[in-house]
Amino acid sequence: MAQFDSVRTVGGVRTAEIDEGLRAHMNKVYGTMSVGMLITALAAWAISGLATTTDPSQAVAQLTNGTMLTNLGGLIYGSPLKWVIMFAPLAFVFGLSAMINRMSAATAQTVFYAFAAVMGLSLSSIFLVYTGFSIIQIFLITAISFASLSFWGYTTKKDISGWGSFLIMGVVGLLVAMIVNIFLQSDAIMFAISAIGVLIFAGLTAYDTQKIKNDYVAHAAHGDSEWLGKAAIMGALNLYLDFINMFIFLLQLFGSRE
């Protein structure tokens, strides 16, 4: 935060241009993230609707909770394709992070929206597992928690940049544990993963918000609009991932199953 104060201060006077630009930058970050969230929600809802049926004559398979699947549902939930769908969002994240310097800001934004649609496909199965009321309830809880944590990360005078390495190590540990539990299918391990996951992504929400703010201030004086455009996309991606993961882990902890 010392860096933030020093950049915004010129001859002891805070520059209104930096403040105004920062507000516009954060609005773009949150706006891009919100559009991505909307795409994900619509994609997940539409795909789950196409994948299920109430007409036994159209069903090709049935889940243990009685949900009947159409041909599409059988393909994306009951065939090896489900593994591709599960890991596709991860591939998008790594690909966008690695190639964004070679993309224009407009291309990066398009890729982000494509990623949001793929994430919707990956998350569509929650409508088969959890009640609609439960999904809405947990989404609202997540939205309130996310907004509070992000606001704190934006306004706090405390430098929380030191949290980064610890939180990233936690994410790596979660990924390893989740992959291992695919084979173990342990409810106890899944509960522990979900509880720790909520805490990690809560911390990342505040950390990423402060980092987006500090990165903008550090580069705003150079007037590199292309870099700032890409930075807004990556900021939106990071906050989107924080929100989605916090939502999923809270749903696993408190969601009511069908």
Range 9-17 average pLDDT: 49
Looking at 8-22, 191-205, 237-251, which range is the least confident one?
Answer: 8-22
Those residues with Cβ within 8 angstroms of residue 47's Cβ, 6 or more apart along the chain or in another chain: 72, 76, 120, 121, 124
Reading the block at residue 145, the tokens are: 């928690």
Reading the block at residue 238, the tokens are: 């990071």
Whole-prediction pTM: 0.89
Range 189-199 average pLDDT: 96
Range 103-118 average pLDDT: 94
- What are the b/e assignments for 163-189, b being 16+ CB within 10 Å? beeebeebeeebeebeeebeeeeeeee
Those residues with Cβ within 8 angstroms of residue 10's Cβ, 6 or more apart along the chain or in another chain: none
Q: Is the pLDDT of residue 5 over 60?
A: no
